[in-house]
Amino acid sequence: MLSFGSGGSAQVAIVTGAGRGLGRAWAQALAARGVRVVVNDNDADASLVASVVQGIRSRGGVAVGDRHSVTDGATIVKTAMENFQRVDILINNATVIRDGSFRKMTLEHWDDVYRSSLLGTFSVTQAAWPVMRRQKYGRILNCVSGAGLYGNFGQVNYAAMKMGLVGFTVALNREGIKYNIAVNAVSPVAGTRLTQPVWPDDVYTKLMPELTSPIIVYLCHSSCKDNGELFELGGGWVGALRLQRTHGVGFPTDPKQFTPELVAEQWRDVVDFSRVTHPTSTQDSFEPMMRNVTAPPKSLTTSRSSECAEVFDRLRATLQEKGHALSKQISGVLEWHINKEVWTITLLHGKCTLLEGRGARLAPDLQIHMDEQDFLDLAAGRLRLQQALIRKKLRLQGNLKMAMKLQPFADLLLQQHQARL
């Protein structure tokens, strides 16, 4: 059982926006595990905080109420220190929404959301930070939103503040590592007063806030070592998110070659997510840029042409094992033209060779012309051989009878792709 201590040594949590909805559910779940809780909410209805505190106490828990604004973080932390002399857990949940189209959005609408979400999180966290540093321990959860992660009409202000908290989280966690302070972000989905006006009744009823509580309790526990991470949760489900970047394209830095026209020509490769990286730091982010500026290509090599070369390299290794069997089905010289690149496969007398470029000794029996992406689709099984022929994505020159025997090659390419997954 996950323990947070007991009695006077029990951990202490501050939960903002805990008068109802998610904050209330999380405060109650932590208190049920023995955590002493500061229930914060500055809603005009003072009975909200009093009700949550009374409910926790009636079940044997320990809680105090606090009705200060999250922009007055020092006073909220003072409440925790005066009552419990420490702060182990901080959940920055408080927020408001001021929805409306961007054209009609006022500075007041923008500032209200800024103060409750971004400024409020900064204020309470900054006040709790020195306490956690002295303790050499802390767990901080910042609440973000799918509106920021994915965008949502009429919520430019809300989305901007919530994405600001993602940056706040991934930067602050680096400062807390040496003090055993973990800072993570959660994007919860639940039926609350914020979602009730826009959700169907059956969805609102099923996605109860309590179905996120066990996840939150774990993220607040000392055994959870995740730091600087982002999680989506709701309905009893949780998943982790991370940044993903395409392999990208390195251009020649010679101004005569590096033109907007060349960029436009290669843009399909720039936005191609078939090959991706997952940078986790600014150093990771800079690495391909520094590599390109240090040793720029003399001419353009796209990510797909590199990927084609990798496919043929794997095929060469495989053919050394299976070439003899294939040469019983196919006898001759195949010349694959993938855009401007050429690979030559020679299958003769039970032997197989694969060379980059044209064969020097024998003329090809069959030339096979394909665009790079079509070839990669064929290798991955997204494009069948017959489809490629019918749609003229695979163009042939030479001994067309040999084309009827290409299926073993297509099968071999697919086997290689599946083996990598």
| CATH number (domain holding residue 235) | 3.40.50.720
The answer to whether residue 315 is domain-embedded is: yes
What is the token pair recorded at 86?
A: 């420490």
**Tens-digit pLDDT profile for the chain (421 aa)?**
899 998 889 999 999 999 999 999 999 999 999 999 999 999 999 999 999 999 999 999 999 999 999 999 999 999 999 999 999 999 999 999 899 999 999 999 999 999 999 999 999 999 999 999 999 999 999 999 999 999 999 999 999 999 999 999 999 999 999 999 999 999 999 987 767 666 677 776 888 999 999 999 999 999 999 999 999 999 999 999 999 998 889 999 999 999 998 999 889 889 888 778 888 889 889 888 998 889 888 776 544 567 888 888 888 887 777 665 776 777 888 899 997 788 888 888 777 888 888 765 678 899 999 988 889 999 999 999 999 998 888 999 998 888 777 888 888 888 887 877 6
Contact 227, 169 (CB under 8 A): no
The answer to whether residue 343 is domain-embedded is: yes
Burial pattern 328-359, b for ≥16 Cβ within 10 A else e, equals eebebbbbbbbeebbbbbbbeeeebebeeeeb
Contact 18, 93 (CB under 8 A): yes
Strands 138-143 and 181-188, bridge-based pairing: parallel
Q: Which of 114, 158, 179, 204 is catalytic?
A: 158
Helix or strand holding residue 336 (H, E): strand 332-338
Boundary-marking domain end, from 300, 323, 344? 300
| Domain match, 251 and 230 both | no
What is the C-alpha to C-alpha distance for residues 177 and 153, in angstroms, rounded to an integer? Answer: 37
Q: Residue 13: which of 33, 201, 302, 272 has the closest Cα?
A: 33
| Domain match, 278 and 135 both | no
The answer to whether residue 349 is domain-embedded is: yes
DSSP-assigned beta bridge partners for residue 66:
40
| Domain match, 236 and 250 both | no
| Domain match, 47 and 29 both | yes
The answer to whether residue 79 is domain-embedded is: yes
Residue 268's CATH number: 1.10.287
| Domain match, 96 and 228 both | yes
**Predicted pLDDT of residue 323:** 62
Report CA torsion sign: 311, 313, 318, 319: positive
**Predicted pLDDT of residue 305:** 65
Place of tokens 């999180």: 121
The answer to whether residue 404 is domain-embedded is: yes
Residue 179 annotated as catalytic: no
What is the C-alpha to C-alpha distance for residues 26 and 40, in angstroms, rounded to an integer? Answer: 12
**Predicted pLDDT of residue 349:** 76
- For the chain, the straight-line distance linking the first and the last C-alpha, in angstroms and rounded, comes to 37
| Domain match, 339 and 402 both | yes
How far is the CA of 150 from the CAs of 146, 183, 200, 204, in angstroms?
A: 6, 22, 21, 20
| Domain match, 132 and 47 both | yes
What is the token pair recorded at 392?
A: 């003229």
The answer to whether residue 251 is domain-embedded is: yes
The answer to whether residue 382 is domain-embedded is: yes
| Domain match, 77 and 221 both | yes
| Domain match, 182 and 289 both | no
The domain tally of the chain equals 3
| Domain match, 64 and 175 both | yes
Report CA torsion sign: 318, 321, 323, 329: negative
| Domain match, 21 and 125 both | yes
User: pTM here?
Assistant: 0.72
**Predicted pLDDT of residue 211:** 96
**Predicted pLDDT of residue 218:** 98
The answer to whether residue 327 is domain-embedded is: yes
Residue 396's CATH number: 3.30.1050.10
Contact 144, 190 (CB under 8 A): no
Range of 374's domain?
A: 304-420
Boundary-marking domain end, from 273, 300, 327? 300
**Predicted pLDDT of residue 81:** 98
| Domain match, 182 and 249 both | no
